[in-house]
């Protein structure tokens, strides 16, 4: 879901920050077609499970790690586990965001099965729920059952077009009421709360709330940028240029040619934590703040409680909202920094729950996302790399 980019170039005092708007006008290297083949849709497959999983792997997920493993040994059944090597213990110590990604995966899987007349019977945590940290036990077991009564979901039409878009939005254009209605309707059947600040027909206090959310988001990002463990977790996932992107097909992709060239020459240090007051850190904070300021609206999803099943539910809900937004021409970008649970971000965490009127621990804000329209003439965001089905199997 949320991806970050930070570059510190050692030697000669050169500092560059790479993000949504860095190095505007610089030529980019291409993302290899092989890295995004999954977004073209699956080829015909006699095994419905494989066909449905081809859509599930397109789910939004933290740092684009795609930490899913599938066991197809039992006919008609899929057992799903998490790859313990693809978790985020620094930024997501309890695995809440990872399970939200798993929920998005399950929702797309169920939608795909329905397209071919099958119901997805999903059993969560069939061997028991994880405790404070995630483990190798299955997060779901899925049986695909032929069912003439199953309904096809109209949101599935957007499965190959859904994107996470980190660019600046048109801040002068609040969200149209009809679009808010569509977003809300996409999750109306689920036991959680959806809300949005920044709609066109809202009073001025609505925009005040948007400004207050922006301030908390910026503060949480400052904390993450200046705290070594979460920052280094992101830096280790940087993928520079076509070859690295194609080799890994995950993480945080860097395509600006000057940065790719510097990395190839050995001038990019991905192992050393930059000082909080370094020029690189200051530059990146400035850039992130500019992108945050170009945000006309935020949406959020809230559960009463924070059970593991509710975390998966929130992921199912978010991908539905994202698909509904794609159908309405809306861009979205999760801003989860203030919702994370490592100790240093406790202040922003408490602040966002208080601001939204959802005090913890009774309530949990599971998702906070930027939402808006792209500026006139902006091209759609490109798809993120995917590792493909071959990386999914465990036997």
pLDDT value of position 1: 58
Share of the chain above pLDDT 70, in %: 93
Given a cut of 80, whether residue 70 has pLDDT beyond it is: yes
| Virtual torsion, Cα 352, 356, 361, 362, nearest 10 deg | -170
Write out the H or E segment, with its range, that includes residue 336.
Answer: none
Given a cut of 50, whether residue 365 has pLDDT beyond it is: yes
Give mean pLDDT, residues 331-351: 98
pLDDT value of position 138: 98
Contact 295, 364 (CB under 8 A): no
Out of 2-6, 132-136, 169-173, 289-293, which region has the weakest mean confidence (pLDDT)? 2-6
Residues in contact with 176: Cβ distance below 8 Å, sequence separation at least 6, in sequence order: 199, 200
pLDDT value of position 385: 98
**Could you give the CA distance from residue 287 to residue 276 in angstroms, rounded to a whole number?**
15
Given a cut of 80, whether residue 2 has pLDDT beyond it is: no
pLDDT value of position 262: 86
Give mean pLDDT, residues 150-166: 97
Residues in contact with 78: Cβ distance below 8 Å, sequence separation at least 6, in sequence order: 49, 53, 70, 71, 72, 109, 141, 142, 144
Given a cut of 70, whether residue 22 has pLDDT beyond it is: no
pLDDT value of position 377: 95
Given a cut of 80, whether residue 24 has pLDDT beyond it is: no
State the distance between the two ends of the chain, measured CA to CA, in whole angstroms.
28
> pLDDT averaged over the chain?
92
| Virtual torsion, Cα 90, 96, 97, 98, nearest 10 deg | 90
SS3 377: coil
pLDDT value of position 395: 59
Question: Which residue, 20, 55, 39, is CA-closest to 289?
Answer: 20
Give mean pLDDT, residues 89-117: 98
Which DSSP category does 395 fall into? -
- pLDDT category, 259, cuts 50, 70, 90? confident
**Could you give the CA distance from residue 313 to residue 218 in angstroms, rounded to a whole number?**
27
Give mean pLDDT, residues 36-43: 95
Give mean pLDDT, residues 284-292: 93
Given a cut of 80, whether residue 13 has pLDDT beyond it is: no
Given a cut of 70, whether residue 119 has pLDDT beyond it is: yes
Q: Identify the residue with better confidence: 299 or 2.
A: 299
pLDDT value of position 55: 98
Given a cut of 90, whether residue 283 has pLDDT beyond it is: no
| Digit-coded pLDDT (tens) for 201-235 | 999 889 999 999 999 999 999 999 999 999 999 99
pLDDT value of position 281: 87
pLDDT value of position 8: 46
Positions of E strands within the chain: 68-71, 77-82, 118-124, 140-146, 193-197, 238-240, 252-254, 297-304, 331-334, 363-372
Find tokens 């073209």 and name the residue: 40
Sorted by where each starts, the structural domains of the chain and their CATH numbers stand as 160-227+277-372 (3.40.109.10)
pLDDT value of position 44: 85
């Amino acid at each position: 879901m949320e991806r970050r980019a930070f570059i510190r170039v050692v030697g000669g005092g050169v500092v560059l920050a790479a993000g949504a708007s860095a190095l505007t006008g610089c030529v980019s290297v291409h993302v290899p077609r092989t890295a995004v083949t999954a977004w073209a849709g699956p080829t015909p497959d006699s095994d419905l499970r494989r066909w449905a999983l081809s859509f599930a792997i397109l789910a939004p997920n933290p740092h684009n790690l795609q930490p899913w493993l599938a066991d197809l040994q039992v006919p008609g059944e899929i057992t799903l586990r998490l790859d313990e090597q693809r978790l985020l213990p620094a930024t997501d110590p309890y695995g809440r965001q990872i399970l939200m990604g798993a929920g998005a995966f399950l929702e797309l899987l169920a939608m795909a099965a329905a397209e071919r007349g099958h119901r997805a019977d999903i059993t969560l945590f069939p061997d028991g729920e994880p405790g404070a940290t995630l483990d190798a036990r299955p997060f779901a077991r899925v049986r695909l059952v032929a069912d003439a009564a199953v309904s096809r979901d109209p949101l599935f039409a957007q499965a190959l077009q859904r994107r996470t878009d980190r660019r600046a939005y048109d801040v002068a254009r609040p969200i149209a009421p009809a679009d808010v209605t569509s977003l809300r309707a996409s999750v109306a059947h689920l036991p959680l709360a959806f809300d949005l600040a920044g709609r066109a027909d809202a009073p001025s206090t609505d925009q005040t709330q948007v400004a207050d959310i922006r301030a908390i988001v910026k503060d949480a990002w400052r904390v993450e940028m200046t705290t070594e463990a979460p920052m280094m977790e992101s830096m280790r996932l940087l993928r520079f240029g076509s070859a690295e992107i194609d080799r890994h097909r995950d993480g945080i992709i860097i395509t600006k040619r000057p940065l790719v060239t510097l990395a190839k020459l050995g001038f990019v240090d991905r192992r050393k934590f930059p000082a909080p007051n370094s020029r690189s850190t200051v530059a990146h904070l400035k850039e992130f703040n500019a992108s945050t300021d170009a945000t006309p609206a935020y949406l959020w999803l809230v559960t009463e409680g924070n059970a593991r099943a509710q975390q998966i539910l929130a992921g199912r809900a978010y991908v539905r909202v994202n698909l509904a937004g794609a159908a309405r021409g809306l861009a979205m970008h999760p801003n989860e920094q203030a919702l994370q649970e490592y100790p240093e971000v406790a202040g922003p965490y408490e602040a966002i729950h208080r601001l939204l009127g959802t005090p913890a621990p009774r309530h949990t804000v599971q998702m906070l996302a930027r939402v808006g329209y792209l500026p006139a003439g902006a091209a759609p965001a490109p798809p993120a790399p995917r590792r493909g089905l071959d990386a999914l199997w465990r036997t």
